[in-house]
Amino acid sequence: MIQLLQNFAAACPSPGFFDLPTWYRYLPVDKSSVTGKCEVQFNLMEGGKFNGSDILLVGLSVIDILLRIAALVAVGFVIYGGIRYITSQGSPDGTKGAQNTIINAVAGLAITMVAAAFVAFIGNTIT
């Protein structure tokens, strides 16, 4: 299992697509002197006992990825609300609905940004 996880990080990819972090962001990654590839150090057992701290770090990375995706969805709703506002043609109901969409999307974006910063702070503090 550990070898399978290490193979995912074989090329040490940096964040690229929408700057989403990797699932192993908070785990230590070392470049192997033999193969020249990056290897993730993922340990479930330490001293013969279960150690769940690495699972926690992977969980934080997954939560960070999901929060960033939620922020992108919120930006999409701001754009959608803007289009609705433009195409409402002065209709009071259409304008009000578009404004509510934009306000709710901006509130969601603010919440996800604060939550992502909090998760990143926790992840960087633990490592």
pTM given for the model:
0.77
Domain ranges for the chain, please list them.
2-126
Q: Confidence band (pLDDT; 50, 70, 90) for 15?
A: low
**What's the rounded Cα separation, in Å, for the pair 119 and 53?**
15
| Nearest alpha carbon to residue 126 among 63, 66, 38 | 63
CB 57 within 8 Å of CB 27: yes
Torsion angle defined by CA atoms of residues 78, 76, 98 and 107, in that order, rounded to the nearest 10 degrees: -50
CB 62 within 8 Å of CB 116: no
In the prediction, which pLDDT does 16 show? 61
Task: Tell me the percentage of the chain whose pLDDT exceeds 70.
Answer: 86
- Taking only the tens place, the pLDDT of each residue in 114-123 is 999 999 999 8
- Taking only the tens place, the pLDDT of each residue in 23-78 is 888 888 787 777 777 787 777 777 777 777 788 888 999 999 999 999 999 999 99
Helix H segments across the chain? 2-8, 53-87, 92-126
Average pLDDT, rounded, for the chain: 84
Type of residue at 6: Q
